Structure 1
Amino acid sequence: MNQALPWPVRAPEATENVMESIWSAISLTPLESEALRLSLWVSLWAMLASLPLAVGAAWLLARRRFPGKTLFDGLLHLPLVVPPVVTGYLLLVVFGRRGLVGAWLHDQLGITFAFNWKGAALAAGVMAFPLMVRAIRLSLEAVDRGLEQAAHTLGAGAWRVFFTVTLPLTLPGILSGMVLAFARGLGEFGATITFVSNIPGQTRTLPLALYSVLQSPGGEAAAQRLCLISIVLALAALLVSELLARRVQRRLKG
């Protein structure tokens, strides 16, 4: 009987059916929702914790000459070229509960990185750190040094020049680096699973959840949902980065 009705009458019902089908296709289980929440939390902390160090490292590389600068630069970019599993193992050796630094942190401060979300954030931050440093460094190198010299001539100190001249002009690069680090943190797998394992609700981020469902029979539907979410998050991060960079550039030019 519905087929005899005109399309304008059937359109709302058809639209509702389509939306219900789409929602049922992307509806997440509690474990998948927890993996999504944990991924966002871990990536956010990795980005925020890396930011001050990345700004400092980028400034050193862009503005200072010192012995071992090339070696320092190479070490910073090492996570980009070595297998992520190697990075995860080194983190375990250094920051594990019995590690070189981890044992002291655990005994003296009660801080433990291994096998919890803080370790996942550390792994994501280490893997994303070179991308953030590179973006900020390129932005620093593009700053007109004459503006800084003019501020010095007018009596501004080094810190005031940095915060009132250099940092605002570097802001587009900083924002780009932050978004790149956040997106890289969302996709981190190898270092995370090596350092903090794959514990539901503790360290199982989206990539690890995707890996887990692919190991289970009949997990194709869940894998497709997690893939779709990962793609949407990555595209959203890149879009936000572009919009923020354009807005900051317009303000600087205006």
Structure 2
Amino acid sequence: MTSLVPGPHRASHRPSGTVRPAGEPAVGLPRWAFVPAAVGGLLVLLPLVAMGSRVDWSSFASLITSESSLAALGLSLRTAATSTLLCLVLGIPMALVLARARFAGLDLLRSLVLVPLVLPPVVGGIALLYTFGRRGLLGSSMEVLGVQIAFSTTAVVLAQTFVALPFLVISLEGSLRTAGTRYDVVAASLGARPTTVLRRVTLPLVWPGLASGTVLSFARALGEFGATITFAGSLQGVTRTLPLEIYLQRETDPDAAVALSFLLVLVAVLVIASTRTHRRVR
């Protein structure tokens, strides 16, 4: 009788997600792919290296710890964290609807959700201004109630959320489609309520996609400039985030602008690296 257990002469099938042993060749990777890959890597890395070479390291600490720099950095971190939380609250249901719901106009809705990805940020700022500004679609009614959003810290959060939300939605929607619904159906057949299925089954299954989308949203919010300056202005301690501070310092103190730019890069790298480390630990 022929054994069903694969012998040593047969190709073994490694489970998905396992690490390929060192020295094992990548299957199906053409050699020419390394050339454009290297060019692409240099295109990303060389500008960062060039910027780092222009940093005045002798006065780096004093440049990034000035009162205006610390205020801008603190505001950027607070507003980016708040907008990321808002992206999670709004983006998870949006991704669920786009991935699992079936109704007329779903493709159009998906296209509209992704519009901020292709819009210039300044156009997004103008759209927000005509929505929440003093004479905007909703802003005029809010003004009567004594609520003013434009040119406030709330405006910064809304601008960052507007440009960052699609990153979370598109990442999570892709993960939901890949995961499928078989485990959700099993949990529902055992009597679990839809919210329980979402919390105990669906979200844990798509955790890598959710984590990636969250990091992308935070990084995009942290670096947002165009929509913020158009909709929120540049008031120190209120709406002047770190990208706006870098832009202003570039005209008056180029050394400070370069130092703050390098600081922003370091913060972004640390956030992404910490998330990837957390995913490997899991």
Shorter-chain TM-score bucket reads 0.7 to 0.9
Judge conservation of contact 1:80–1:130 (CA < 8 Å) in 2. Answer: yes
The equivalent residue for 1:10 is: none
Distance in 1 separating the partners of 2:190 and 2:98: 26
How many angstroms does 1:144 deviate by? 4.0
Secondary structure, counterpart of 1:111 in structure 2? coil
Q: 1:25 to 1:94 in 2, by over 3 A?
A: same
Which consecutive segments of 4 or more residues in structure 1 shift more than 4 A? none
The equivalent residue for 2:138 is: 101
Q: Normalized against structure 2, the TM-score is what?
A: 0.76
Determine if the alignment matches structure 1 residue 26 to structure 2 residue 61.
yes
Distance in 2 separating the partners of 1:48 and 1:69: 25
Note the 1:102-181 alignment, pairs <5 A: 102-108=139-145, 110-181=146-217
1:75-122: per-residue Cα shift (whole Å, max 9, x none)?
Answer: 1111111111110000000011221112223433x4322111110111
Larger helix share, 1 or 2: 1
Distance in 2 separating the partners of 1:240 and 1:69: 35
Distance in 1 separating the partners of 2:268 and 2:107: 32
Determine if the alignment matches structure 1 residue 66 to structure 2 residue 103.
yes
Distance in 1 separating the partners of 2:155 and 2:122: 14
The equivalent residue for 1:41 is: 78
Judge conservation of contact 1:172–1:244 (CA < 8 Å) in 2. Answer: no
Determine if the alignment matches structure 1 residue 221 to structure 2 residue 258.
no
Determine if the alignment matches structure 1 residue 196 to structure 2 residue 232.
yes
Query: Is 42-51 or 166-175 further displaced after alignment?
Result: 166-175
The equivalent residue for 1:234 is: 268
% identity of equivalent residues: 40
Secondary structure, counterpart of 2:179 in structure 1? coil
Unaligned ranges ≥5, structure 1: 1-20
How many angstroms does 1:22 deviate by? 4.7
Q: CA RMSD in A?
A: 1.6
Judge conservation of contact 1:115–1:195 (CA < 8 Å) in 2. Answer: yes
Judge conservation of contact 1:80–1:127 (CA < 8 Å) in 2. Answer: yes
Secondary structure, counterpart of 1:215 in structure 2? helix
